[in-house]
Amino acid sequence: MTTPTRRRLALAGLLALTAAAMAPAHAQGTYPQRPIRFIVPFPAGGGTDNLTRLVGTKLTEAHGWAIVVENKPGAGGNLALDQVAKAPADGLTLVMAQTDNVVLNPLLYSKLTYNPDKDLRAVALVAAGPAVLVVNADSPYKSLDDIVQAAKKDPGRLSFATPGTGTISHLISEAWQKSSNVKFTHVPFRGMAQAMPDLLGGRIDMYMGSVPTLLSHIQSGKVRAIGVTTASRSKLLPDVPTYTESGIKGVELASVWGVMAPAGTSDAIVKQLNEAINKVVNAPDTARKIADSGAELITGTPQDMARLYASDRARLAPIVKSSGTTLD
């Protein structure tokens, strides 16, 4: 074999080795190779659906990614989270999780078909929102203290409606009753749309739901907001006091929305998704839309998200236990 031939073979081998070494990086850089399925655990038109579609649209605009939003409601979000937990861990199936399903469902169901701590992986925080207590605009109750005093005089008479048993609104009502030593009658609905006619008709005394869900009814004057559950007042409801301001402790709770993926999703893909989501939600236009909906923009690392959900579950576990609430 001549010297030039040896040199050509050596060069070809070197190029082949270089290409092989670079192949994983190149493959990673082409993510996502196919459309991303972004699963919503609730029906279309609600707060979680709107937030998912906003984030998906902004990711498409910023990166050209094809994103298909799918609604898979049912079983308090369990159907959607189970589907994502069992999906291939290639970063092409995501879910917009929230406190009700990731934090509360493991406390409320004795058996789940998935384990949110082992089968799902935190990707990125997106938003948080307080619950707000509303009454009919004609209600005699104008403050949280008015309700507490009425409940002490006649335990169990006042009806406290929520979007359903085991929701964050329901557990907040349990925490409030314990903190103030009062008793309400819980009336679960399947959502605000079903509860509003009864609230406006005077058949229920109060309703607790998310600010994004109730904001338009508050602004129209149909209902009166008298308390929010976060540590500070809502920017969209600056005149509505917090429970803490009203002297009611242990009710500083909010719903937190965040993107999750199957547990085996690679660090590289999770990092890429986290950076992309943080960037688009922090953009002024997206941040404004999130704020206008009544939610609060929050971002952070996947580790921040996992720690926040773990902390919320630790806070809510004794409330669930003392209430005796189960969903089996």
Same domain, 98 and 113: yes
| 124 and 51 in a common domain | yes
CATH of residue 82: 3.40.190.150
Whether residue 29 lies inside any domain: the answer is no
Give the pLDDT mean for 146-170.
95
| Closest by CA position to 74, among listed 101, 104, 109 | 101
- Range in 3-17, 24-38, 301-315 the model is least confident about: 3-17
User: Do 289 and 185 share a domain, yes or no?
Assistant: no
**Domains contained in the chain, number:** 2
Name the 3-class secondary structure at 104: helix
Q: Is this model's pTM higher than 0.85 or not?
A: no
Query: Domain check: are 41 and 114 in the same one?
Result: yes
Contact status, residue 76 vs residue 101, Cβ threshold 8 Å:
yes
Is 80 a residue whose pLDDT tops 60? yes
Domain ends where: 225, 246, 267?
246
**What local confidence, expressed as pLDDT, does residue 254 receive?**
87
Could you tell me if 158 and 179 lie in one domain?
yes
Among residues 246, 275, 304, the one where a domain terminates is: 246
Range of the domain at 118: 36-128+255-323
Task: Give me the DSSP letters along 25-57.
Answer: HHHHHT--SSPEEEEESS-TTSHHHHHHHHHHH
Tokens 């923009």 found at? 297
Residues 228 and 262 in one domain: no
pLDDT at 192: 83
> What is the pLDDT at residue 15?
40
Q: Decide if 220 contacts 133 (C-beta within 8 A).
A: no
Q: pLDDT above 70 covers what percent of the chain? A: 91
Out of 5-19, 46-60, 147-161, 308-322, pick the least confident: 5-19
